[in-house]
Amino acid sequence: MTKIGIILGSTRPGRNGEAVAAWVHKIASERTDAEFELVDLLDYPLPHLDEALPPSLGQYSRPHTQQWAAKIASFDGFVMVTPEYNHSTSGALKNAIDYLYAEWNNKAVGFVSYGSVGGARAVEHLRLISGELQLADVRSQVALSLFTDFQNFRDFAPGEHQVAALHTTLDQVVAWSNALAPLRAQVTA
């Protein structure tokens, strides 16, 4: 069965992302076309990148990197839940991505973002990063507005149309993850 990791890309206290990621996981878990697991960056405390060698070499020396690498390697694709901070993604998510290389390769990724303009600029940056990591980003995304999908900018109350957008994103992530399986198999063979 295809395994998709839902990465909660914010670690800040009081983060809106926790409710968003729980919503994504709840809806995804009702599906039968893949297994979905919520991965909270708080459970993987990664200091600012502290590996001496580039991630492309795959020679991780730190236990926290090895644990993170094993978790990411266990998935066939991802949904990244990202806030938008200063027209980009969170530093915690960017740092977690930068720790690894091969573990991301030949997998699909979709995005659920939130912010004043739906987190669109954060996703633009993540799409550029994805290409370098050989992550295939799917076209569909969920862009949640702090003005219309949250009450008082804090209480998550997504519009019904967002459920359809999420299903389309999940459809694409699962389909592309399955389509990329032969490429992943070549690397492990």
Helices and strands: H and E segment counts in the chain: 6, 7
pLDDT in tens, 11-65: 999 999 999 999 999 999 999 999 999 999 999 999 999 999 999 999 999 999 9
- Which amino acid appears at position 94 of this protein? K
pLDDT digits (tens, 9 = 90+) for 75-93: 999 999 999 999 999 999 9
Distance CA 156, CA 144 (A): 9
**pLDDT over 80 at 188, yes or no:** no
Q: What pLDDT, on the 0 to 100 scale, is given for residue 111?
A: 98
What pLDDT was estimated at residue 187?
79
pTM of the model: 0.96
pLDDT at 189 over 80: no
Structural domain boundaries enclosing 68: 3-188
Distance CA 32, CA 7 (A): 20
What pLDDT, on a 0 to 100 scale, did the predictor assign at position 82? Answer: 98
- 39: which residues sit within 8 A by CB, 6+ positions away? 5, 6, 7, 8, 71
Compute the distance between CA of residue 15 and CA of residue 90 in angstroms, rounded to an integer. 11
Domain count along the chain? 1
DSSP, collapsed to helix, strand or coil, labels residue 16 as coil
Q: How many CB atoms lie within 10 A of CB 138?
A: 23
Identify the CATH number of the domain in which residue 170 sits: 3.40.50.360
User: H/E element holding 121?
Assistant: helix 120-132
Using a 10 angstrom Cβ sphere, with 0-12 exposed, 13-18 middle and 19 or more buried, the burial of residue 189 is exposed
Alpha helices in 30-104 (DSSP H): 63-73, 91-98
